[in-house]
C-alpha cells in the first residue's frame, strides 16, 4: 500500500531498497537516480529495534523523512526509543498506525478512479 501511495503521489517508489547490508521496506524518491526523500519500515511483528536501526541509517545517509508504520503494540516503545537511542532522527521520524496507511490508500485509490472517470 505504501508503494502504491507513493506512485499515486507521483514519486519514484521502490520496494526493498538496499541500505548497507539490509533492505528498507519502501523508499520514495523525486527522481530515479536521486536519494530517497522518504524511507518506510512496516513493523507489524518482528524486531522493532532493527526496523528503527534501518530508518536511522536512512536518516544519517540521506537526511530523509523516516516513517514507521506499525501497530498500537509497538507505538509507545518506538516513541521511547526515539527519545533515547534514536533521538537524532526524532524530528524527521513519524510513527503511524498501519490502519491510517490503509485508509489513505483506499482514499487515494478512490480519488484516482474518480479522476480517471472524469478524464482528469
Domain 2-115, what architecture? 3-Layer(aba) Sandwich (3.40)
Specify the pTM: 0.90
Mean pLDDT of 4-25: 95
| Contact assessment for residue 61 and residue 88, using Cβ atoms and an 8 Å cutoff | no
How confident is the model at residue 91, as a pLDDT? Answer: 86
CA distance 5 to 64: 17
- Residue 111: band (very low, low, confident or very high) from pLDDT cuts 50, 70, 90: very high
Q: pLDDT tens across 75-101, in order? A: 989 999 998 889 899 888 999 999 999
Instruction: Tell the residue number behind the cell numbers 536518516, with chain if given.
Output: 59
Q: What is the CA radius of gyration of the chain?
A: 15
Q: pLDDT tens across 34-68, in order? A: 999 999 999 998 899 999 999 999 999 999 999 99
Amino acid at each position: 500500500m505504501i508503494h502504491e501511495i507513493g506512485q499515486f503521489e507521483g514519486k519514484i517508489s521502490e520496494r526493498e531498497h538496499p541500505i548497507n547490508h539490509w533492505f528498507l521496506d519502501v523508499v520514495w524518491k523525486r527522481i530515479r537516480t536521486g536519494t530517497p526523500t522518504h524511507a518506510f519500515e512496516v513493523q507489524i511483528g518482528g524486531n522493532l529495534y532493527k526496523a528503527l536501526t534501518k530508518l536511522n541509517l536512512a536518516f544519517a545517509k540521506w537526511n530523509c523523512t523516516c516513517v514507521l508504520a506499525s501497530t498500537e503494540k509497538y507505538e509507545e516503545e518506538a516513541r521511547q526509543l526515539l527519545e533515547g537511542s534514536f533521538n537524532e532522527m526524532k524530528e524527521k521520524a513519524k510513527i503511524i498506525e498501519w490502519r491510517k496507511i490503509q485508509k489513505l490508500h483506499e482514499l487515494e485509490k478512490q480519488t484516482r478512479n474518480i479522476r480517471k472517470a472524469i478524464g482528469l
